[in-house]
Amino acid sequence: MATQVAGNPRWSQNASGRIMSHSNDLVETGETFKSGEFCRKASDGLMYEAVTGVTSVAASATTHYALEDLDATIGNSTTRKQFGVVAASDEYEMNELDGTVAEVTEGNHYEIDVTSNVCTLDLGNTNFPTFQLVTPLWRIREFQDTSSDTLARVIAKPLTINIEAAPAA
Amino acid sequence: MAATKLTYAQLGPLHRSTYPDHINKSMDTFLARSENIPLQMAKYFKKETATTLEHKLTTYSNILNHPRKSEDTEALPYEVPAPGYDKTIALNTYRLGTMITRTYDKIDQSGQARRQMSGLLDAGRRFIEAGQANVINTGESVAGSDGSNLFATDHYHEDARGGQWSNLDTSGALTTTTFDVMRYGMKKRKNEKGQVSPIMLKTLVTVPEKEMKARQIAGSDKVPESSTNAINPWSGVDVDVISYLTSTTAFYGVGDLPEDMWGLHYVSLTDPNIMSLSLPSADHPDIIAGFRIYMQVAFAGSQIKQWVKNAGV
């Protein structure tokens, strides 16, 4: 058994062959995020770091993917940052929050967890799911990932309702 | 000082946003990071060519019992060899790609942007070594062609009348004594008719944690654990230390059987190969180059008569 080290999601593939498209967006003052974190474009037109444990899919949406770090010192609503635009058929390599991942979780819907600028998939949280677990990576990346890994690496894709929900405030 | 964990975005192709240092004109030196992938396992595996994604193998023998007392005038006694166990090995297709954007290729200051795509072949080589080592690493829990685990004490010979054989010694620390037990066990191995068919232990395979002890056994004139100046008769045995093995204590004796009896199979329908992608494409005119690795392979054990394992302590 190995304990994997949590890192931010990594775009892996898109079922329709699409390459992630880009956007340059304004960021809410004080927001911080790291490369590879999911972000949410809110109804005020500004980008926010994705959050977890909120009360609607729209509020926990992950519409964008940070392509560069943003430290608190430069976050303001006049700063544009580069983002990738999350699409429905994108698939991301992600860590599970803290546990192992069994094959029987394939196809199930989960929320993400965002802690200390790291986004992971939380199999313990199905309240307002934003991602569908495609498969644990140990099933397809042999001799590197194993079924006993904790913080196991998985392939997950965003739910359409997540990225197409009307922006929340 | 605080340890720093780098983060990066991966958005498909090699892109300037992932490598800010590479587009930084003030950067003076770009040093390559590469990996060392020693080929340690391949020599123990028999390479076999598959024709479909399901590879079946069996064994045949010419081993017969002893001739019988029989007069010229008696009816001639006849015998045929025992059939062998068979095994079906499922092959999988493995792929991975990498590509680069026009802008990153153009503004990269290192001049090495395209070299960053050269790791596919290394990934394939590492995968093959890891896959082969996995057969040994999991050998006490994965069944072979005879139904026993690959390393087990209860293997039946192909002719079950020949009894059982073992390629798993009682766990014990690597010492001259446990090595000797392994050695003479192999030398007393019986064939499928229950008759002596010795295997000469040629190589002591072990893990890096036990390399020192293994080299003491192989390199000492005197028995390393003895203070009585007893001669070490096993001085000179080959030692092979394999970094891909995951045990911290195990050691293995590898014998001198012919390749068909190794029991370790690297089966390939498509050997690892790198292909240049058809880029740029109409959909992605500014993804200018890319490569993919492709292979259809499997690694498996059938009956590992060639190896004996001691899990060590």
pLDDT digits (tens, 9 = 90+) for B190-240: 999 999 999 999 999 999 999 999 999 999 999 998 888 899 998 899 999
Q: Are A76 and A25 in contact (CB under 8 A)?
A: no
Instruction: Give the whole-angstrom CA distance, residue A124 versus residue A112.
Output: 10
pLDDT at position B310 is: 98
Subunit contact B20:A67, Cβ cutoff 8 A: no
Write down the H helix ranges in B17-118: 102-107
Chain A nearest-CA distance from B67, in A, is 49
Of A13, A14, A36, the CB nearest to B7: A36
DSSP B161: G
Q: Indicate if the pLDDT at residue B259 is higher than 90.
A: yes
Task: Tell me the ipTM for this assembly.
Answer: 0.88
Amino acid (1-letter code) at residue A69:
D
pLDDT at position A73 is: 65
pLDDT digits (tens, 9 = 90+) for B157-193: 999 999 999 999 999 999 999 999 999 999 999 999 9
**Annotated domain spans of chain A:** 10-164
Of A36, A82, A84, the CB nearest to B8: A36
Q: Which domain holds residue B51?
A: 41-57+84-310
User: Interface of chain B against chain A, CB under 8 Å?
Assistant: 7-13, 15, 17-18, 20, 92, 127, 130-131, 133-134, 283-284, 287
Copy the structure tokens of residue B290: 């890319």
Subunit contact B11:A84, Cβ cutoff 8 A: yes
B7 CB neighbours in chain A (<8 A) are 7-8, 34-37, 69, 117
A17 CB neighbours in chain B (<8 A) are 283
Instruction: Give the whole-angstrom CA distance, residue A14 versus residue B313.
Output: 47
* Residue ranges for chain A with pLDDT beneath 50: none
Q: Which A residues, 72 through 91, put their C-beta within 8 Å of a C-beta on chain B? A: 82, 84
Q: Is residue B78 part of a domain?
A: no
pLDDT at position A1 is: 63
Which of B253, B171, B247 lies closest to B209 in space, CA to CA? B247
pLDDT mean over B266-281: 96
Q: How many domains does chain B have?
A: 1
Backbone angles phi, psi at A150, to 5 degrees: -100, 160
- CA torsion, points B65, B69, B73, B75, in degrees to nearest 10? -30
pLDDT at position A75 is: 67
What are the CA-CA distances from residue B278 to residues A59, A103, A117, B93, B103 (Å)? 41, 35, 37, 20, 18
pLDDT at position A16 is: 82
Q: Is residue B27 part of a domain?
A: no
Searching chain B, which residue's CA lies closest to the CA of residue A22? B11
Cα angle for residues B301, B303, B307 (degrees, 5° grid): 90
Q: Is residue B45 part of a domain?
A: yes
A8 CB neighbours in chain B (<8 A) are 7, 9
pLDDT mean over B263-285: 95
Searching chain A, which residue's CA lies closest to the CA of residue B8? A35
Tell me the CB-side half-sphere exposure of residue A169, using CA atoms within 13 A. Answer: 0
Subunit contact A19:B11, Cβ cutoff 8 A: yes
Q: Indicate if the pLDDT at residue B43 is higher than 80.
A: yes
A144 CB neighbours in chain B (<8 A) are 130
Chain B nearest-CA distance from A51, in A, is 18
- Partners of A14 in the beta sheet? A90
Looking at per-residue confidence, does B134 or B17 come out higher?
A: B134
Which CATH code for domain A10-164?
Answer: 2.40.300
Q: Is residue B107 part of a domain?
A: yes
Copy the structure tokens of residue B70: 């029989």
At B163, which CATH number?
3.90.1690
Of A13, A35, A117, the CB nearest to B8: A35
Q: 3-class SS at A155? A: strand
Q: Which A residues, 147 through 166, put their C-beta within 8 Å of a C-beta on chain B? A: none
Q: Is residue B4 part of a domain?
A: no
Cα angle for residues B183, B186, B192 (degrees, 5° grid): 175
